[in-house]
Structure 1
């Protein structure tokens, strides 16, 4: 069977537009499933930068309505950084992220009404009468932001629409919750921070093996073609039984060796972004040089070219 003819730059490995259902993604999906099905008003999802939190949540939320047996409106927004937060900026950013089709007046009360009416309208279309709001960069949310969200939450509650807010951010989210606890801000904690989920990067050989197996079996392009990513980039070796999954132990040792080489002493946690860059680099370079199967040198160069080392050094300094 001949390898599919795909124009240059179109394959997902070239574009980077794919999500692997890693072990962490599956754990997150289970947590979010319980959160939404139990009508919990809010959960915080936190972890170090660049480990794939946001894309994993988007991936998980695509499947949750199917598991619940009914569609659920899902809205996403990001908390942008401003020197002085304001209702106008916050609501306008939300409307823009929601791709609201009509120009909104700049008066905050009008914009809040547009947001509320949109959420109620979509919530009423769902037989479950639920709406999910995902807020990225949620560690930037201040007490003011949460009070504005409470107003929206209360209006939906009066309309008998259940709102679940999924706050996604860095580890500062935990310190933010601690601060609210110390200030006795129960109205914020009770609505948006009662549950938590820590999202991790890749930490074990089993994590690496699971990810590589996805390249071998799960991810394929074109869809339904039977050509997994591994098969497409290393066709001869794949046909003869080679699988990236079997490289897990060597790749794990390589990451640990490189960390020691650069004096990085903290426990291993590879951000998903840089792990994906590593595999993509190995695939693209191997294909370009007509390499039968990834060698140790190819993997080492792929790790270094991914930007992982620079990122870890900066994180250690921070």
Structure 2
């Protein structure tokens, strides 16, 4: 048996256990490259879309984090678009004020809230040293035309003050239908500001995609700047003799493909990020107690993790959506 390893933090406090970590995927990296291009060209807006559970919100968090490294003083905001029965201008501007960090987000009438939002953004942008800022709208397919008009008012007022607002609409494929409807309805003022660029956010499509993500578990460390990678934390003995998750890419891919084929799905396999990360978390957490110098994650263990992460159920839901589309 392996000797006892003293982990640097309690097991339950690790980011993988708490699900508070980010693994960059090829789509997330592409998302970041696309956002940097929009900044460089000062493009006012774009659409990033995918089906549910493909990692869009995850991607926003990652891109916001990395943007802060490349542009330390840049203003990068985000807000979640809310499902509602009736549009409320008051509630909408409270939401934007909260995203901007204004302490008075819930006070004042609509006119005052509009003024406070513009002033707050100008204050943040002036402090940043740039003449632009980015705002992500998550689940943007929930936005109605009147809310786009309110957002356009903010965009135009800031433009008059010399600030470029770059709006990234992140949501489901319904966003493309909205764009088409706006074009047909000659709502060019919305399309030209918020929907110029398009990017489809993909799941994991090849073993190489999985390898890229798995390698992050081998390289990311917690505590930061320690030598305790995520993989080492859960399997320290196996890690000490060369075990690395990156070498598991083909085996894990085969487990997903086997599940996909057993369910008789006809669409091309594409693994949503949520189910990939969940399968890895299950494999690490449930096998940590069996760590040893010769430990291996067998195909059976990966098949069990894929089954437990509910990948097949999610794919069935996706199949139904694809049929409707």
Same fold (TM over 0.5): yes
Q: Is the 8 A contact 2:237 2:291 kept in 1?
A: no
Unaligned runs of 5+ in 1: none
Distance 2:315 2:141 in 1: 21
Q: Does the 8 Å CA contact 2:218/2:244 hold for their aligned counterparts?
A: yes
Residue 53 of structure 1: how far off its partner (Å): 1.3
Give the 3 Å change call, closer, same or farther, for CA 228–65 of structure 1 in structure 2.
closer
Equivalent position of 1:57 in the other structure: 60
Three-state SS of the structure 2 residue aligned to 1:9 is helix
1:23 is matched with which residue: 23, 26, 30? 26
Shift of 1:57: 2.2
Give the superposition deviation at 1:147.
0.5
Distance (Å, rounded) in 2 between the aligned partners of 1:284 and 1:105: 46
Give the 4+ runs in structure 1 shifted more than 6 A.
none
User: Is the contact made by 1:132 and 1:163 (CA closer than 8 Å) also made in structure 2?
Assistant: yes
Q: Give per-residue Cα distances to partners, 1:76-97, cap 9 Å, x unaligned.
A: 1111011111212211222234
By how many angstroms is 1:104 displaced?
3.4
CA contact (8 A) 1:131 1:164 kept: yes
Say if 1:41 and 1:192, in contact at 8 Å, map to a contact too.
yes
Q: How does 1:84-95 map to 2 (within 5 A)?
A: 84-95=86-97
Question: Do 2:234 and 2:288's aligned partners in 1 also have CA atoms closer than 8 Å?
Answer: yes
1:1-318 matched pairs, under 5 angstroms? 2-68=5-71, 71-102=73-104, 104-105=106-107, 107-217=109-219, 219-290=220-291, 292-318=295-321
Deviation per residue, 1:127-165 (Å, 9 max, x gap): 212121111110111111110011101111111111111
For structure 2, the residue ranges without an aligned partner over 5 or more in a row are none
Aligned counterparts of 2:260 and 2:230: Cα–Cα separation in 1: 28
Matched position secondary structure for 2:134: strand
Count, aligned residues: 316
Change (3 A) 1:7 1:66: closer
In the alignment, the residues of structure 2 paired with residue 122 and residue 130 of structure 1 have an alpha-carbon distance, to the nearest angstrom, of 10
1:103–1:46 CA distance, 2 compared to 1 (3 A) = closer
Q: Deviation per CA, 1:185-211, whole angstroms, max 9, x where unpaired?
A: 111111111111111111111101111
CA distance in 1, matches of 2:33, 2:312: 32
Offset from partner CA, 1:267-311 (integer Å, 9 cap, x none): 111111110000000000111344622111211111111121211
Equivalent position SS for 1:51? coil
User: How far is the alpha carbon of 1:257 from its aligned partner?
Assistant: 0.8
| CA shift digits 1:5-41 (9 cap, x unpaired) | 4223100110111111222221111110011122111
Q: Give distance in 2, aligned partners of 1:243 and 1:44.
A: 36
Describe the shift of the 1:225–1:158 C-alpha distance in structure 2 as closer, same or farther (beyond 3 A).
Answer: same
Normalised to the residue count of structure 2, the TM-score between the two structures is 0.92
